[in-house]
Structure 1
Amino acid sequence: MSRRAAVLGHPIGHSKSPALHRAAYAQLGADISYTAIDVTVEQLPGFMAGVAEQPEWCGLSVTMPLKSAMVAEVDEVRGAGAHLGVINTVAFENDGGIPRRVGYNTDVAGIVGAVGYAGAAERPDAVVLGGGGTSAAAIAALRELGCDSARIYVRDAGRAGEAVKAADAVGLAIELLPMERAAEGIAAAGLVVSTLPPRAADGIADGLAGPGVEGGGGVLLDVAYDPWPSRIAEVWQRRGGAVVPGLEMLLYQAVEQIKLFTGRDVGADVIDVMCDSVGLPRRVY
């Protein structure tokens, strides 16, 4: 039987996940189709009820704004997702003839892989921009990178519950700071992870480009990859820092999803064709 997988979110037309997954399945010889489906938070329960009646499904990638809402639609959450309360992956498993929907958060591995490949130092002086669902994965990733603390810049501290919950879960001390102070605060950081939507960091970039802002040379991961380069990425690079596009994170988290959906290893040959599919340079092994 042909299997089926998809990425869900709203809006979803910009997603590069179909290109990455289709390239991988073709290289693996896996008979899995992969599409993008526009689903809102309100539509999610009905969509998942329909999926339960269709045995061909093997996996779902989950993007904004569904990462928290999807937790209520699965039978079990494993790994980092269980601590964070935020998932980006649903794998369909069969437990003794009983189908189960299992949630995971592969964004954490995606961030660790992307900044590691860019050469981020161990235990970096770290900053996260934004306090939503992706910030939870960023906080967990910082803990895996050896950080004991991080500064989190948010527009509204009252809406940073996911970041606070994640920090408590992984034992990372965080300081919530106002977004209007972010330009000065990130200038000398060793690692910055921007989880803001496209163009939402433009004002921070303008402040960073202004006179009297000192520092530079760290690593910036901007999870927003369309348009690219982002304004903050351009300014960061001009200041001597290393820039990691969000596509790098998307690549590494997709590798983990593909392993879950197929039950197979993902070797260098598969990663190379995935890179080709979205215009990333091939890895150096």
Structure 2
Amino acid sequence: MTKPYAEVIGDPIAHSKSPLIHRFWLGQLGIDADYRATRVAAGELAAYFADRAADPDWRGCNVTVPHKVATLDHVPDPGDVRGSIGAANTVFRTLDGLAATNTDAAGFLSPIADLDLAGKPVVVVGAGGAARAILFALSKVGVGPVTLLNRTPLKGAALLSTFGLKGQALPLTARLPPAALLVNASTLGMTGQPPLELDLLSLPADAIVYDIVYAPIETELLTRAHERGLDTIDGLDMLIGQAALAFELLFGQPAPRDHDEELRERLLA
């Protein structure tokens, strides 16, 4: 007998901690369902969504690198995610069929919701799907100016314009300007990826360094931030925050966030 399931898709996908998170919450709530990690290559997206849409047990999926932008070409977008963030990280069933949305922006903001970042300088590294959600979120809290570091500064400049953010786009090798918040929104520093080599000396003593990479949890960037005595936020905070929003869309019940401490311990084990 089959049972309901959801999954996370990407390429690569073996590093994903999403199955552990969602299975933990399913267990806490006593929901008889499963959550899997499934590798989907770029050329397989259309076939994947067509196949899953026909499976009555499939509740939806989370979407990670490199499919966050391309997913919008294959799934209905009733909330106009394309027009706002421009990338999707969650696909779920509605009464009208599949729908794409993005929980990354709210997940990113959750650990910094109490900070007053209005008008304060921010540095963001990366210009992919996750960076889109983060820039969207930053635009909503009124930060500025934003310095975006990317291999292709022209792409970075276009993103700043897209989200109405004042600032500048520079290559990855550029010297960091002073900033209240530094966010690594790229895959640099992730296991199997090139390192993110930034000199943090220009950051003030009260700056916060936020790395959305969670494999490894303690990235080289966070290690160097700790050596400077800077406050840091690791990738688990955003991961759990966005996952909680997706969980309710996929399984119809709020994630049991009162167990976050135990969940984090399991993720770090």
Length-normalised TM-score, structure 2: 0.89
Tell me if structure 2 keeps the 8 A contact 1:84–1:169.
no
2:138 to 117, 135, 142: 142
**Cα separation, 2, equivalents of 1:274 and 1:81:** 32
Q: Deviations over 1:166-207 (max 9, x none)?
A: x4454322411121114x32xx31111101214245321xx3
Matched residue, 2:65 = 64
1:105 to 98, 102, 110: 102
Matches within 5 A, 1:1-285: 2-78=3-79, 82-95=83-96, 100-116=97-113, 120-123=115-118, 124-160=120-156, 164-165=158-159, 167-182=160-175, 184-185=176-177, 188-199=178-189, 200-204=194-198, 207-208=199-200, 213=202, 215-279=204-268
Tell me if structure 2 keeps the 8 A contact 1:218–1:242.
yes
Change (3 A) 1:169 1:259: farther
**Cα separation, 2, equivalents of 1:229 and 1:275:** 14
Alignment-mate amino acid for residue 153 of structure 1: L
Change (3 A) 1:80 1:48: closer
Cα shift at 1:241: 1.2
Cα shift at 1:140: 1.0
Structure 2: runs of 5 or more not aligned:
none
Structure 1 counterpart SS, 2:62: strand
Q: Deviations over 1:203-249 (max 9, x none)?
A: 21xx336xxx4633211111112223111111112212111111111
**Cα separation, 2, equivalents of 1:173 and 1:164:** 11
Tell me if structure 2 keeps the 8 A contact 1:198–1:225.
no
Change (3 A) 1:52 1:8: same
**Cα separation, 1, equivalents of 2:12 and 2:226:** 29
Tell me if structure 2 keeps the 8 A contact 1:59–1:90.
yes
Cα shift at 1:83: 1.0
**Cα separation, 2, equivalents of 1:58 and 1:273:** 26
**Cα separation, 2, equivalents of 1:37 and 1:78:** 26
**Cα separation, 1, equivalents of 2:152 and 2:69:** 19
How many residue pairs end up in the alignment?
263
Tell me if structure 1 keeps the 8 A contact 2:179–2:203.
no
Cα shift at 1:276: 3.8
Tell me if structure 2 keeps the 8 A contact 1:81–1:105.
no
Length-normalised TM-score, structure 1: 0.84
Cα shift at 1:24: 0.8
**Cα separation, 1, equivalents of 2:82 and 2:31:** 27
Structure 1: runs of 5 or more not aligned:
281-285
Cα shift at 1:273: 4.5
**Cα separation, 2, equivalents of 1:54 and 1:225:** 31
Identity %: 28
Structure 1 counterpart SS, 2:148: strand
Larger RCO (alpha carbons 8 Å, 6+ apart): 1
Tell me how large the CA RMSD over aligned residues is. Answer: 2.2
